[in-house]
Amino acid sequence: MKTKITLKELSKLLNVSVSTVSKALNDSPEISPKTAERVKELAALHNYKPNPVAVNLKKSKTGTIGVVIPNISNSFFARVLSGMEAEAQKHDLQVITYISNESLDREKQICELLTSGFVDGVLIAVSEETQRKKEYDHLFNLVEYEIPVVLYDRINVPLPADKVGVDDENSFYDATKFFRAKGIHDIGVVSAIHHLGVGKSRIKGHERAMPDGEELKLAVSSKADVLKQKIKDLISTKKIEALLCTDFESAIMSARIAYEENIKIPEQLKIIGYISKEVAEFLTPSISYVEQHPQEVGEKAMQLLSDRLEGKATAGRYSEKVIATNLVHLESTSF
């Protein structure tokens, strides 16, 4: 069993002071090359590693970042986390994860915890409930405590903070334009998240690509059975030719209903949805999707935070980055 050696013990073995050992290991120019070498040698021999807790206390920082995730089972967020972790590694930062489960209360609890000094900064995608109720006091609280915050994905929050979002609006603008260019004009939009910022943006993008004044064909509801009925109405009764789905649930549901109603995809109905690559590719038929580059969202968010922690960002000025999306065409949009 190995036991961790401390600076003090090292200094005793070397017959020099603790200060000297510390400086030597931190490559201080004050130390003579000779002793520096002696010290480093012994440190390596004993596999010395500074106690990070002590270093952090001394430096008044924690070296860790708090990441708040609304729902980790959503593969988008899982991949965002992966990007954050990769970027954190580059900056020697540790990532502490907190899962809000889309609950405002839990999110408040987490923010409360976060103000007590566990982390140097926070990356957060606010919960659904938070967005719905527009309660942001707990976030402002973080800012008041001078804890740098970066909002990611769900950035439609009036908070003085850096933000990294997905280009939701343009994704559906592009998708709509794509269909129209192919001569398809009866385009429906399906959404189970129309009440959230990202859902609204996507629908807005679609609207922007449609002729002025033309009524939109929407099937929206956060209740599964209601949504199901509305989709059925859209594709069976209204004979829509193409569907844009703002989320996993509505995309899968649309494909399913088409199957049940004996409407062939893509021959009679084309679909583009927000689904993760992993699932989209494997469906039968495979569903064309909007690639959101979650990894990049995570990397960028961590990068902005790290810049701010290192003083590379101007105080009081916040940047807002939008990660471009692109359409990946699979079977559901083949012509």
Q: Which residues in this chain contact its own copies in the complex, by CB under 8 A?
A: 1-4, 49-54, 56-57, 62, 64, 72-73, 75, 78-79, 81-82, 85-86, 94-99, 115-118, 144-146, 252-253, 255-256, 259, 278-279, 282-284
CB of residue 90 vs DNA: minimum separation in angstroms? 21
Q: Residue 25: name its binding partner from DNA, its own copies, none (Cβ under 5 to 8 Å by kind).
A: DNA
Q: Which is nearer to its own copies, 188 or 294 (CB)?
A: 294
Q: Which is nearer to DNA, 40 or 180 (CB)?
A: 40
DSSP string computed for 162-206: EEEEE-HHHHHHHHHHHHHHTT---EEEEES-TTSHHHHHHHHHH
Q: Residue 23: name its binding partner from its own copies, DNA, none (Cβ under 5 to 8 Å by kind).
A: DNA
Cβ contacts of 267 within 8 Å, gap of 6 or more: none
CB of residue 174 vs its own copies: minimum separation in angstroms? 25
Phi and psi at residue 290, to the nearest 5°: -90, 115
Query: Any long-range contacts for 207-210 (C-beta under 8 Å, 24+ apart)?
Result: 208/169, 208/173, 209/172, 209/173, 209/174, 209/176, 209/177, 209/180, 210/176
Q: Which is nearer to DNA, 43 or 69 (CB)?
A: 43
Residues that bind DNA (CB under 7 A): 4, 6-8, 15-20, 22-23, 25-26, 29-35, 48, 50-51, 54-55, 57-60
In the structure encoding, which two tokens stand for residue 152, read together?
């990611």
Q: Which is nearer to its own copies, 207 or 281 (CB)?
A: 281
Q: Which is nearer to DNA, 19 or 334 (CB)?
A: 19
CB of residue 169 vs DNA: minimum separation in angstroms? 45
| Separation of alpha carbons 158 and 92, rounded Å | 30
Q: What angle do CA 165, 170, 175 make, to 5 degrees?
A: 130
Q: Residue 30: name its binding partner from its own copies, DNA, none (Cβ under 5 to 8 Å by kind).
A: DNA
DSSP string computed for 110-159: HHHHHTTTT-SEEEE---HHHHHHT--HHHHHHHHTT--EEEES---S--
CB of residue 138 vs DNA: minimum separation in angstroms? 21
Of residues 96, 164, 162, 97, the one with CA closest to residue 300:
164
* DSSP conformation class of 211: P
Q: Residue 282: name its binding partner from its own copies, DNA, none (Cβ under 5 to 8 Å by kind).
A: its own copies
Q: Residue 133: name its binding partner from its own copies, DNA, none (Cβ under 5 to 8 Å by kind).
A: none
Q: Residue 219: name its binding partner from its own copies, DNA, none (Cβ under 5 to 8 Å by kind).
A: none
Q: Residue 2: name its binding partner from its own copies, DNA, none (Cβ under 5 to 8 Å by kind).
A: its own copies
CB of residue 140 vs its own copies: minimum separation in angstroms? 11
| Separation of alpha carbons 200 and 156, rounded Å | 10
